[in-house]
A and B are shown apart, each in its own frame.
Chain A
Amino acid sequence: MISTQLLRRILAALPCVAFALPSGAQTFEIQCPAGTTLHPAAADGTPNPDIKCQQLSGGDGFATMADGTQTYLFSFGPLSGLKNIKDGLPGTLPAADFLQPYQPNPASPSDPDTAGNPNGAVGLEPQPDAPGHVDPRPVMDVGVLNGNMPAPLIAIAEDDELFLTLTNVGQIMRPDLFEQHTVHFHGYPNASSFYDGVPDASVAINIGGSFTYYYLAPDAGTYIWHCHITPPEHLQMGMVGQLYVRPRQDKLTSGDDLGAHLLAANKHAAVDAAATGRSCSDILCTGQTPVPKAADSSGNTGVTGGQLYAYNDGDGSTQYDVEYPIQIHGFDPDFHFVGMTFNPENFTDSKNKYFLLNGRSYPDTVTPGALSTQVADGSDHFSQPLPTIINIPFGGRALLRFGDLETNEFQTLASLGIPMHVIALNARLLRDLAGNNLAYDTNSITMGGGESLDVILDAHDTAKYPAGATYYLYTPNLDHLSNDAENFGGLMTEVHICPGAVDSLKQCVGP
């Protein structure tokens, strides 16, 4: 006869069943409020534009390698902003746009080009016969096997609130797994454990459920994000992506001195009325960036706004015309095969054979548009929406946002013909506490997993970088210029100097 106390202890020790909170019995659920205390909704209920929302599926999918191999993924897929994602843009949307329900076409539910409200969120409609529940059918129709490599791009602005919902749709190819998934916002300063996405340290979402991560935007920069469940497995299998935070400086106009505004922002973040705002009030520069050394006593640098900037630089030194995400990664084909076929995984001898920029190897890196892969049920899903064609407008500057979440080794990417100007490391501007710029020029960057880095390719000297010129980014880890057994390809892509401007989809347009 088991005593009640012992029984309670036994029950309590079983995986994680709760008694304390009232059971809302939710399954899938999206959170994207129209207003918060920090960003209230308009009087008529119109959502505040500084509230940004995005929904992701956690599950599996397939991707196409450059040698034609269809490779299995554990992956995140888009459940909002699908059209933007397919077009190679970030999927984050203001609440007003997010809250328009996606209307899938039954013949091709995960293709936004055939859907109504192609950027709206999936899973907003209630289930008719179950009050308080959302209808899970569109979530499953769209979400299953719609994994993307890399994971959907996220982009917010400083001072935004981000509601990021992760919906676990299960892994169809692995019915033996009850895999949870999480989102780890890598580099978020002063993170809370609860929203840090490390399952051992907090919580993870089970299959059939949704978890909404809440973040107040951190300092501007290029961050990375990924699943943190069994990272040696989930990251190798493809659950890796990028997240940008746009600087406040982007909102300034040609009447605003960048340096003066930076100084004022520093003073505000420092709190201390006696702070000069020239440097940082704390050793980690929380919410602050040192003002350029040459600025005058009010912070003026003489450089005014109205452009796009990677960081709050105060002197325009991170100005760019067009940005390109570049996710460096590697796939071990043996690992992906056993990942699909229930076999033991070998970490010790794991060897990458595919070397990926944005989920593709050369020459697929320069194939425009989204790549599509047939999944297990014979249907096509867009699997790799990001080419890495770097089109620079004539006389302009391109920002390359590098992220690396590779699991096995360090990789180097070199530039042939146009130097790389490294402006930031790990989402922080290269500037010391005295305001000296520490940006440097180089022909290559070397990255390991967990690192991010920003490079500007500066083509303003049109005599050196004429219209129509093509340059290469390639890896001098020469064995990585391969697609498994094919000895040509790999970690390589092209830089094009456009004859004119670049449009919103980053294609060359003009004369």
Chain B
Amino acid sequence: MKPFGFLLLLSGWAIVFAAVALLGQPGVRIAFLLAGIGVEVTGLVFVVRSHPLLRGARE
């Protein structure tokens, strides 16, 4: 779960960077930028939720 979360974090950042580097129209760019941030937030949720699971697994 944690590696998948980190993968989503990186993917979200790649979408954000692609939006600012490749898209010129402000509306489309902001839409993609927000989509990238959404992917990052999803990844962060996965990473954060996996932490207590790991702790519980050790006990």
- Does chain A bind chain B? no
B residues near A, CB below 8 A?
Answer: none
A residues near B, CB below 8 A?
Answer: none
